Structure 1
Amino acid sequence: MAYLEKGPCQPYEHDFPRRPMGNDNRCFRKEWFSEFHWLEYSIEKDTAYCLHCYLFKPDRGGQGGGHIFTKTGFRDWKHKKTLKDHVGLFDSSHNQAFAKCTNLMNQKQSISYVIFSQSSSQQQSYRTRLTAVLDCIRLLLMQGLSFRGHDESKESLNRGNLIEVLNWYAACFDEARDNSMKEQMAVVLSLRGQGYDGASNMSGEFNGLKALILRENPHAMYVHCFAHQLQLAIVSVARRNCMVSDFLDVLAIIVNLVGASCKRVDVLRTSYQTNILEKLNTRELTGGSGQFQEMSLARSGDTRWGSHLLTVTRFINMFNAIIDVLENISEDGVHSDQKSLALRQMNNMQDFEFVFSLHFIFEILVITDDLSQALQKKDQGIQNAMRLLNLCKCALQNLRENGWDTLFSRVIEFCVDRHI
């Protein structure tokens, strides 16, 4: 607290020394103090540090620059972007450290402050309630049970595990007499929280839904939806691979091009139905109730859960029909740029690398989609979610170690059928 009360060391009046970097001589810029309030500078070492991470940095490997801002010091004055990268996203190691610093200085919101600012009888009452809540939470965690109920209203016959267990606990100890023959009654509180995706209108610090709820109840802690975090992680990791990133860009271009008008969508559906009928007549496919229904391409989005899997799945099923639409555009399109674009994308689709990426991404998304669907269930418990996460990781590792031959054979068969 003494460190935080004093604040980061920011010697504005210091004559920062210049050092050769590349073709220039560069130095620390005092303007950075205003832009990065957490930044402090060591005159002795001519290096910069992060006060919040120095005090509370979690052990998360190299995230946020590793030990650069806590031990070794930052002095690459040429790359200011490193300072922005250090802050990272909302749940980065830096922001977690900043939150801990804020909580430490805001003692009036701490449980200990609330308890010890009351009379001894009130303190005992608080301890009784808190102990009851923690006992029930430990029981539910140990058994891997969900906390929330489908209907927690007072009229509900089953308000969920936490409320029902708390009510049972309260009934067991309700109005019992102590040794002095005084009535002692246990009062039980229910814990609340809020969780959704990380969009600014939802989790924004100032005007988001999260901020509006916290103004009404400062104890309604916000948790980023696990399913949305999974989606963002998959997309972020995939984009770091050049081949996959190029594939996703081409995929988005083709989906937008084919779905640009109602006429093209109608041609796509007609061509798809024709292909299905041909395969049914040649017995390449067998019909069944609910199979081969009318469909169209779906656009994917980084913030829409499962949208990439839906796009890739329909793209595989409608591959021949998409080729037909692109061919029509390249031959009969009104604008020359549209015709040339359609021709390029048709050539991209008939490239082995594109087909391989299509099936490769499909295999990965099928595995992660099971976890994503499970994380979105209202009755999901944290222990079961962690178990499903481990199963997902094992399935991905098995695909990596043992899935090559099957995947490659499927790609080869797909290419041969379509003369690629």
Structure 2
Amino acid sequence: MRAKIRKEIGDAKLCSLVDEARDASNKEQMAIILRFVDTEGFLRERFFAIVHVTDTTAATLKKEISDALSCYDLYIINIRGQGYDGASNMRGSWNGLQALFLKDCSFAYYVHCFAHRLQLALTATAEKELMVNVIQTHWSSNFDSLCSMIDMYSSVITVLENMMNDGASNSIRGEASDNGDNKSALSTLQEKSLDILSAMNYVSTTKTLLRTLREEGFDLLLSHVKEVCVKYNIEIPHMEAHYKSGTGRSCQHNDSITIEHHYQFDVFIAAIDFQIEELNNRFKDDAVELLKFSCALEPKENFKLLNVDHIY
């Protein structure tokens, strides 16, 4: 199979995608994926090898990757992209795997896996908001339900569609429709053909929505909270009253802060700022720009995205 893949590559440049994990016997294994444009002009992504490594240091990984490639006359000088996770042994600027390859080939640009970036951003936000323990606590009890849901996915969708059309009341039809819309959104995000430019647009749109929510969302949220409190006879604090710390003691600084100010700036805006900061840290402008430039030769719709300046 590797010989066949080598024939597909021909004289083309290539990108390497690498990740490592321990197998059932607790041995470190490294998977190597190659992306390239084949001799007929089609973009290919091939699982090339899985290699046992004695450790996960950058030097060891580089040697094993180089050896695996050189056996089939594939050389580092022809690498035009590297894709790994964000671990220090991978992304380190001085001694990481990407840095070691860059020393041998200055065109081997490194891109931190975008799915991994998003996972890190979401995890950090969840930890900041003290949600991780709650998720872990309830996960085991929900696991069986989720497995059943996956097994019966097609049947669930059929039921939702029937409820949307024949529900006994408007509320039932509306709720089924909302769940159907969520299903469509999830399906869109899971499409294998989702291109880089679309992914970048999703990230940019998310940042914009978060900023809009930061500037305009608190009053709307507060009004909804008050409606819920009234509905369930929950006491609403006087929002203009002075805010006091959880210990019951107020300092001079807190005496000048109202309850509304505390919830708006110390809770609502602080949480959103943290999410925006995480996205900015994980999806830096230079990496995003590089990937947008890479779409300048996208052949879809008669090269609609062709941009001479980006190519240059």
TM-score normalised over the length of structure 1: 0.24
Structure with higher Rg: it is 1
Query: Larger % of strand: which?
Result: 2
